[in-house]
A and B are shown apart, each in its own frame.
Chain A
Amino acid sequence: MSVAVRRRCTSVLGVVVTLVLAGISGDAQSREAQRAGAPRSGALSGIVLDATTGAPIPSAAVALRVIEPFVPAGREVASAVTDRDGRFVFVEVAPADSFRVHASRPGYLAYRSPVTFPIEPGRWIDDVRLLLTPAGHVEARLALANGEPVLRAQVRLWQELWIAGQSRLVPVARSTTDDAGTALFANLQPGRYAVCLEAVQATLPPDVGPGFRDVPARAALAQAPAVDVHGVRLLVDGALLAPDVQGQPMTYRPACEPATAGSTSEGLIAVEPGQEKQVGLALLAVPGFRVSGQVTGPAASYAGLPLRLSAVDGAGSSFGGRRDVATTFVDARGQFTFVNVAAGEYLIEPGDAISSYVQGTAGATPPMPPAGWTSGSISQAPVTTSTAPVKLESRDDRNVSRHWGRTRVAVGRDIDNLVFRLGPAGRLEARLSWPERPTSSVWVRLEPADGDPSLGVPLGYSPSRKFEPDGAAVTVDGIRPGAYFLRLSGSGTSGWAIRSIRHGGEQLSSELAERPIEWQAGEDLTGVVIEISRDVASVSGHVRDADEKRAGATVIVFPTDRTAWSPLGLAPPRLRAVPVTITAQYRIADLPAGTYYVTAIRGVPPPDWVSVPVLERLAAKAEERELRSGAGLTINLTAVEFAR
């Protein structure tokens, strides 16, 4: 009896597999298990190819990893090295629901299947094509005006990525120059980059105030090697300090290659697959000035507060991370001093609550302050952007920074008596009104509408134990002036959409919360009602390639309503790009009901796919479909070539 049941299951399974694979690829092999005994294992085979030339790659390492609960990186169950024809074969694979395949070879970017896939008993997944992109490199050489190489200088690589529909430079790697003044940034994705010197002058006031040394990292700072300048301690370890000239304090002007990085995307360093670019960065020593002043605000908010001074890179700066020139601490009386500041325009902001984009795929060093600069006590979970492979990472010393300020200063001589005002940050008190009680805690977050990282992602949290049948209260603190989208996260919110956000009976955003909310400095909004619906749809299917070969493809779904294309915030629920599995399947869930464009393109989308002109071009190739709530729609697609 049990044998018969089992046999029927496998035969049903075999039929499904045959159908799906036949629809995808002529080469796909799948056989039903033989009558005697059920199959106990599966198999996977394929070929590793150069993504640019299509040539097979021999001696690449291929690993099969099974993804288990609480082990997101997975456990390696089999590994192979490709043969001379680039082939690999895994046999006798114990079946499981979630596998990923990894492939790597020196000189190529490591590949990891973007979506997990199952291996079923008796099933052989054949002709998997893994495309490896040759890695690019950027080598930067730092030299003084006289040609002398600059050693042990910190340089940072920034990559142009499109976030919230805008071009932004995202810090992807940091490196230190060697004894020849060169720093290598290796294993780069094809793309456009800028290299900037990172010379942060860090100073400590002589009187750091009580409590400062209670934080071990700060106590270590207070003991760190320093020279006395203008009555403050200037840290020397790891700093790039310009020698005085004729008794005149000097500093290195903040330098980037290209010099216009941040203000225009013209002239960025374009790295093609496998290309190595060499760039030079000339450091110019210029007179350094002192910038000191007084913080006003409640004394409890400023004593021991870190302050940062960052270069203003012109209106509409596209730097998506910190560009600090100097850092200091406010002393117990509210006074602060930055030293060795080159002439130019700067912003002064608190350094205790900082946010920056970090690249999610390239193992970037988080662009956080030097060790010990924050007490590092609280670090928010990074917020993943859905339109680029980056996260917005925030760190906040005091959980929620209730005070905030920003002062612009033009430096051309020593400045004393500058006043830096700390004012209260904004606050949102709202009630979530839901159709049914969720199973786990709910987060409410304010995403900067245009992706400005300096706004951070203010978060509010509603713990599940405080849930009532029809809703829960939530508070978001530390809101800086700017435009935000209000969005929900947490596993309990799956299947939800925001229907409206109301304040005193008025819509705060538009219907379906598709417009951003403007926040004034220090503004408190109370009594807000966030109404939630279950009007979401899902779509799935498989993707056929025009040449019948199975290779990576991406399914892109976006609304036909062009007013929803900009601004976007970090994770717009209605614009999605989803890679297919290695068997060319896809599934997109939790789309707010509505009319969408649906299309599939070969490979990965261009980084600027969320920009209005590219969406317009994608729309021309896409199908228009109405997605209704509750319905799971199947749409099979043919991947098209979409060049930048």
Chain B
Amino acid sequence: MSLTVYAYVLAAVLQVPPQATGALMGVVRDAASGQGVSGAVLTVTGNDGAVHRALSDDEGRFSVEPLPAGRYRIAASKPGYLWGAFAAPQPQMAGPGIELGAGQRRDAVDIRMTRAAVMAGVVRDEYGRGIAGIAVQAVPEASGTGSDLAAGAGGSESRTVTDARGAYRIAGLVPGEYFLVAEPPQAVQQRAAGRSDAENDALLRQLRDGVRDGFAVSSAGSPPPAPAIYGPTYFPGTPEPAVAAAVAVRAGEVRDGLDMVVQPVRLTRASGTISLPYGYEAAFVQVLLVPRHAALRGLAKSALAQPAAGFRFAFDAVAPGPYVLVAQGPQQGPGPDGNPWPLWSVADLNVPATDVFEFDVRLEPSASVTGDVRVDRDGDEVDPAGWTIRLSPYEPWVAGRLGPDPRAVSDDAGHFAMAGVPPTSYDLSVTRDGARRTGWRPATATWGGADALDAPLIVRHDPTTDLAITVTSRDARLIGRVEGGEGVDLADFHLLVFPRQASLSSSARRFADVQLNPDGQYDVRGLPDGDYFAALLVGPVGDLRPSPALFQALSPSAVALTLTSGETTTQNFRIGR
């Protein structure tokens, strides 16, 4: 009996959860005014993934409790502000973790919040009327200009739609410089023009007179192609992404009056002639015109050019702007490899704002890409055979329009050859089953002085592309230790390594982002030979995408290094107050 009671009591004691009386307390303050921010939601995330939340009171004070002992990160969010973390160097960046002992009540966990920036204005048509339903997007200046801008970068939070009065308001922006793009949806694009008074007069006259034809007013029957459309417009009011102006906003700033006029752009009749390379014939040529602007993708057009018509083709109602033109002749054969080779042209085309645009397209025969895979030192772990070399179109506009990606596998001597490759730019990938596991990877892939692993490979029919690919297992290794920073959790720091040469800054393989271990040590492997910068950051790069602008911003505080394969470079850091 007493034993049973004892067992019951013991069970009850065992079931008591770990003591959970700890607390994180502090004040949320506006970074500019220093005043308390009321009604902010505090989110406390434990290392075990458990989430605790609380609201700041009318003076910005908060207390998140009860919390069991552990390591926590704490962040605050409120509409109108960028989210902020405790001890974070910047808004929207994670801060270091906080160690909380059993029953410890930690005070002064203060969080500063930065007000978001706002861009606002009205989108009007050429009559000055506000247009509803236009997508307006703020694209960070750092993400580039020109064709990149046309492709539509930028996150969903920086996108909105004009209201019934044509007004837009993009709130919640990180301070910085932005391009503004107004993109009329398809329904609005077509609304630019209709029949003129005179045309309607003529039609009504024909109707009055022409009942005898049973209304077969054939000349006017099918509506003429729209002479104009409302196209994408860039602030301050240009259809040309290349001359768009960036607008800067500061924290908490409301930039109103960023108005844009969406002008109807006259549509062009674009026509041309296909010319074939000497000695080739084609039964027909298919011509595709693909707008580079994402919002205009629906306006892609295709036409057929036939020998009987002298290989002439024409596109009606083409909006001016940047396009990719893909022309393909039928399977033409046989090529050097005995297989049929189609004729191609893949080219950028800028359609000007003129009534008529005439251009010629020269087809090229498919190209061949050949080369050799070489192992950078003798070894029995890997041989030059069995590597898969694959080309994928560099421009997303072209993807899917050129058939399956060209690929080849290297033979015993390391030689490979691809035939029938459409002449355009490609990303190169060199892979081998299990190679990554054993530490083997491509080091260089040179052609004409360039490296196809860092920049797109430009394939032409003449001369034939010959690639020299080197694979290596020798690592350029970068190790080191970070010291100092009393009370700081070193595991919250990241080391960012990026190329010193600006022209290589878009090469993904020359970029590394590693987290320090709790002792502050790091180890970076697999970077190609070259000159680099290394910089310490709190928190992962996360929202800050690797970009030339980010690298530029970081380089003054970064350390310059040179990495060589087979060698280990040591670089230590010290955190000061």
Residues of chain A touching chain B, judged by Cβ–Cβ distance below 8 Å, are: 29, 31-34, 36-43, 45, 59, 61, 78-85, 87-89, 91-92, 106-107, 121-122, 124, 126, 135, 137, 151-152, 178-180, 184, 186-187, 225-227, 236, 241-247, 250, 285
In the bound complex, do residue B217 and residue A92 qualify as a contact, i.e. CB atoms below 8 Å apart? yes
In the bound complex, do residue B215 and residue A124 qualify as a contact, i.e. CB atoms below 8 Å apart? yes
A246 to B221, CA, bound (A): 76
Cβ-based interface call for B213 (8 A): yes
Cβ-based interface call for B127 (8 A): yes
Main secondary structure of the interface of A (DSSP, over half): loop
Given contacts A33-B214, A137-B165, A180-B169, 5 further A-B contacts (CB under 8 A): A34-B211, A34-B213, A179-B116, A236-B41, A243-B55
In the bound complex, do residue A225 and residue B118 qualify as a contact, i.e. CB atoms below 8 Å apart? no
Minimum CB distance partner of B190 in chain A: A79
In the bound complex, do residue A184 and residue B55 qualify as a contact, i.e. CB atoms below 8 Å apart? no
Known: A106-B132, A179-B80. A89 touches B53 (CB 8 A): no
Known: A92-B216, A122-B215. A81 touches B195 (CB 8 A): yes
User: Which residues from A are CB-within-8-Å of B172?
Assistant: 179
In the bound complex, do residue A243 and residue B53 qualify as a contact, i.e. CB atoms below 8 Å apart? no
B541–chain A nearest beta-carbon distance, Å: 25
Minimum CB distance partner of B65 in chain A: A228
4 tightest A-B CB contacts, nearest first: A81-B194, A39-B214, A186-B164, A179-B171
Known: A34-B212, A92-B217, A243-B58. A81 touches B191 (CB 8 A): yes
In the bound complex, do residue B211 and residue A91 qualify as a contact, i.e. CB atoms below 8 Å apart? no
User: Which residues from A are CB-within-8-Å of B54?
Assistant: 227
In the bound complex, do residue A137 and residue B53 qualify as a contact, i.e. CB atoms below 8 Å apart? no
Q: How many A-B residue pairs have CB under 8 A?
A: 149
Known: A29-B208, A106-B132, A227-B54. A39 touches B215 (CB 8 A): yes
Please pick, from A31, A81, A84, A241, the residue contacting B55 in the complex, using a CB distance under 8 A: A241
User: Which residues from A are CB-within-8-Å of B520?
Assistant: none
Binary interface encoding of chain B residues 395-429 relative to chain A, with 1 for a CB under 8 A from any of its CBs, else 0: 00000000000000000000000000000000000
Please pick, from A36, A106, A179, A246, the residue contacting B130 in the complex, using a CB distance under 8 A: A106
From 351 to 367 in chain B, residues with beta carbon under 8 angstroms from any chain A beta carbon are none
Known: A59-B127, A107-B129, A184-B163. A83 touches B196 (CB 8 A): yes
Cβ-based interface call for B79 (8 A): yes
In the bound complex, do residue A89 and residue B215 qualify as a contact, i.e. CB atoms below 8 Å apart? no
Minimum CB distance partner of B209 in chain A: A31
Can you list 11 residue pairs at the A/B interface with Cβ under 8 Å?
A33-B211, A45-B204, A81-B193, A81-B194, A81-B195, A82-B194, A179-B79, A186-B163, A227-B54, A242-B39, A243-B39
A31 to B212, CA, bound (A): 9
Known: A39-B215, A124-B207, A179-B169. A137 touches B127 (CB 8 A): no
Binary interface encoding of chain B residues 183-208 relative to chain A, with 1 for a CB under 8 A from any of its CBs, else 0: 00000000101111101100110111
A590–chain B nearest beta-carbon distance, Å: 37
A79 to B186, CA, bound (A): 14
Minimum CB distance partner of A182 in chain B: B169
Please pick, from B53, B196, B208, the residue contacting A226 in the complex, using a CB distance under 8 A: B53
In the bound complex, do residue A124 and residue B57 qualify as a contact, i.e. CB atoms below 8 Å apart? no
A375 to B211, CA, bound (A): 60
Cβ-based interface call for B542 (8 A): no
In the bound complex, do residue B211 and residue A106 qualify as a contact, i.e. CB atoms below 8 Å apart? no
User: Which residues from A are CB-within-8-Å of B127?
Assistant: 59
From 48 to 88 in chain B, residues with beta carbon under 8 angstroms from any chain A beta carbon are 51, 53-58, 79-80
In the bound complex, do residue A45 and residue B56 qualify as a contact, i.e. CB atoms below 8 Å apart? no
A501–chain B nearest beta-carbon distance, Å: 48
A27 to B222, CA, bound (A): 26
A59 to B254, CA, bound (A): 34
Cβ-based interface call for B131 (8 A): yes
Minimum CB distance partner of B80 in chain A: A151
User: Which residues from B are CB-within-8-Å of A43?
Assistant: 207, 215
A248 to B41, CA, bound (A): 17
In the bound complex, do residue B211 and residue A137 qualify as a contact, i.e. CB atoms below 8 Å apart? no
A88 to B197, CA, bound (A): 10
A178–chain B nearest beta-carbon distance, Å: 5
User: Which residues from A are CB-within-8-Å of B191?
Assistant: 59, 61, 81
User: Which residues from B are CB-within-8-Å of A122?
Assistant: 211, 214-215
Minimum CB distance partner of B206 in chain A: A91
B296–chain A nearest beta-carbon distance, Å: 20
Minimum CB distance partner of A41 in chain B: B215
B46–chain A nearest beta-carbon distance, Å: 15
User: Which residues from B are CB-within-8-Å of A135?
Assistant: 164
B544–chain A nearest beta-carbon distance, Å: 23
Cβ-based interface call for B463 (8 A): no
User: Which residues from A are CB-within-8-Å of B199?
Assistant: 83
A241–chain B nearest beta-carbon distance, Å: 6
A368 to B218, CA, bound (A): 52
Cβ-based interface call for B370 (8 A): no
Minimum CB distance partner of A62 in chain B: B194
User: Which residues from A are CB-within-8-Å of B80?
Assistant: 151, 179
In the bound complex, do residue A89 and residue B43 qualify as a contact, i.e. CB atoms below 8 Å apart? no
Known: A106-B129, A187-B164. A245 touches B58 (CB 8 A): yes
In the bound complex, do residue A59 and residue B215 qualify as a contact, i.e. CB atoms below 8 Å apart? no
User: Which residues from B are CB-within-8-Å of A241?
Assistant: 39, 55
Cβ-based interface call for B559 (8 A): no
A639–chain B nearest beta-carbon distance, Å: 27
A31 to B165, CA, bound (A): 44
A246 to B59, CA, bound (A): 9
A80 to B131, CA, bound (A): 18
A92 to B218, CA, bound (A): 8
In the bound complex, do residue B207 and residue A45 qualify as a contact, i.e. CB atoms below 8 Å apart? yes
A322–chain B nearest beta-carbon distance, Å: 24
B392–chain A nearest beta-carbon distance, Å: 38
User: Which residues from A are CB-within-8-Å of B38?
Assistant: 243
Binary interface encoding of chain B residues 157-175 relative to chain A, with 1 for a CB under 8 A from any of its CBs, else 0: 0000001111001011000
In the bound complex, do residue B79 and residue A91 qualify as a contact, i.e. CB atoms below 8 Å apart? no
Known: A178-B171, A227-B53, A245-B58. A87 touches B215 (CB 8 A): no
Minimum CB distance partner of B66 in chain A: A228
Cβ-based interface call for B300 (8 A): no
Please pick, from A39, A107, A151, the residue contacting B79 in the complex, using a CB distance under 8 A: A151
A82 to B194, CA, bound (A): 7
A538 to B372, CA, bound (A): 88
A308 to B222, CA, bound (A): 58
B249–chain A nearest beta-carbon distance, Å: 12
Binary interface encoding of chain B residues 123-164 relative to chain A, with 1 for a CB under 8 A from any of its CBs, else 0: 000010111100000000000000000000000000000011
User: Which residues from A are CB-within-8-Å of B131?
Assistant: 106
Which among A45, A92, A152, A285 has the highest number of chain B CB atoms within 10 Å?
A92
Please pick, from A31, A89, A247, A250, the residue contacting B195 in the complex, using a CB distance under 8 A: A89
A244–chain B nearest beta-carbon distance, Å: 4
A246 to B58, CA, bound (A): 8
User: Which residues from B are CB-within-8-Å of A33?
Assistant: 211-212, 214
In the bound complex, do residue B207 and residue A91 qualify as a contact, i.e. CB atoms below 8 Å apart? yes
In the bound complex, do residue A124 and residue B211 qualify as a contact, i.e. CB atoms below 8 Å apart? yes
User: Which residues from B are CB-within-8-Å of A124?
Assistant: 207, 211, 215
Known: A81-B191, A83-B196, A225-B41. A41 touches B171 (CB 8 A): no
A38 to B211, CA, bound (A): 11
User: Which residues from B are CB-within-8-Å of A187?
Assistant: 164
Cβ-based interface call for B298 (8 A): no
A264 to B128, CA, bound (A): 41
A33 to B132, CA, bound (A): 44
In the bound complex, do residue A225 and residue B53 qualify as a contact, i.e. CB atoms below 8 Å apart? yes
A46 to B139, CA, bound (A): 44
Which among A82, A137, A151, A187 has the highest number of chain B CB atoms within 10 Å?
A151
B316–chain A nearest beta-carbon distance, Å: 17
From 264 to 287 in chain B, residues with beta carbon under 8 angstroms from any chain A beta carbon are none
Known: A45-B207, A135-B164, A184-B164. A244 touches B214 (CB 8 A): no
User: Which residues from A are CB-within-8-Å of B222?
Assistant: 92
Known: A31-B211, A34-B213. A245 touches B57 (CB 8 A): yes
